Amino acid sequence: MRSTTACLLNGKALAEKIQGDLKELITILQPKIGRPPGLAVLMVGDDPASAVYVRNKERACAKLGMASFGHHFPGQTSQTELEKVIQELNQDPRVDGILVQLPLPPHLDSVALLHTIAPEKDADGLHPMNLGRLVRGESGLRSCTPAGVMRLLEEYQIEVAGKHAVVVGRSILVGKPLGLMLLKKNATVTIAHSRTQNLAEITRQADILIAAVGKPQFITGDMVKQGAVAIDVGINRIVKSDDNAILVGDLDFESVAPVADYITPVPGGIGPMTVAMLLYNTVLSYQDRQ
């Protein structure tokens, strides 16, 4: 049995490095373009977690010298009102990226709102046109969390080609686009989900295991192959008996870390990478629109 534990894949440090590179690029481009890149974030209602995410994005924009156009709407705002605002932002020459902060109140259709965003301003990389480009292997704005996973693997020089990658979770936000990105890098990909039979048998075959199920500490050490790369996309808030809350991932870190060769922490792993790739997409759109 190994006495060592897995090497931590530090998403926080890499996200800071990416943001530093973007800041330099903005410094070069801004005098030529005549304005900074602009990101518009639309938030509806008072979800506390969403409010924290939006504040973090606004702070990150300020740090890079980007313009931030925050739009905070009351919970009862109608679909028509939001679509009108998005259409105005599509036409606004100061705005390069538009993001609708999820989750939305139940009366709103998030898919229809996403379709309203101009594909070239789709900072989250989730518009059907951008997902279609991903399917076809064409360049375009990429879904932020999967792109962050791929960038982290690249930074640590983890070989993907020829490896068996198992993605647990099939959402349009993470599982499906990540499967396509791994395929493009010549991995053999299995996408598992809530209906998968003998899940542990499948996860134990993974050279690269990605947990994106939204269930706290769902993947345990006995479900992981010795020497695997374990990527945790989940972020779950658990309230302890003393009323203090902690953040945990979809991996049971304590039991997985002694088995895996590499592992992402929660927090400090994929979360910061998602924000970094959102900013990257906005700057890419800024650059491409000139």
Residue 17 appears among annotated catalytic residues:
no
The total of other beta-carbon atoms located within 10 Å of residue 267's CB is: 15
Joined tokens for residue 151: 């960038």
Can 57 be counted among the known catalytic residues?
yes
Find residue 251's DSSP bridge partners. Answer: 219
The closest of 13, 69, 1, 64 to 40, measured between CA atoms, is 69
Q: What distance, in Å, lies between the first and last C-alpha atoms of the chain?
A: 57
Strands of the sheet with 97-100, listed across from one edge? 67-73, 38-44, 97-100
Which one of 19, 57, 121, 207 is the catalytic residue? 57
Whether 183 and 220 have beta carbons less than 8 Å apart is answered as no
What Å distances lie between residue 11 and 73, 150, 211, 241, 275, CA to CA? 31, 11, 16, 30, 11
CA distance 117 to 126: 10
- CA dihedral (127, 10, 268, 133) in degrees, to 10, reads 0
Secondary structure class of 77 (helix, strand, coil): coil
Q: Write out the binding residues for NADP(+).
A: 169-171, 235
The pairing of strands 208-211 and 164-168 is parallel
Of 96, 122, 124, 207, catalytic: 124
Between CA 260 and CA 164 the distance in angstroms is 15
Residue stretches of the annotated binding site: 169-171, 235
- Give me the catalytic one of 101, 217, 225, 232: 101
- Report the b/e string of 245-258 with b at 16+ CB within 10 A: eeebbbbbbeebbb
The answer to whether residue 87 is catalytic is: no
Q: Which residues are catalytic?
A: 57, 101, 124
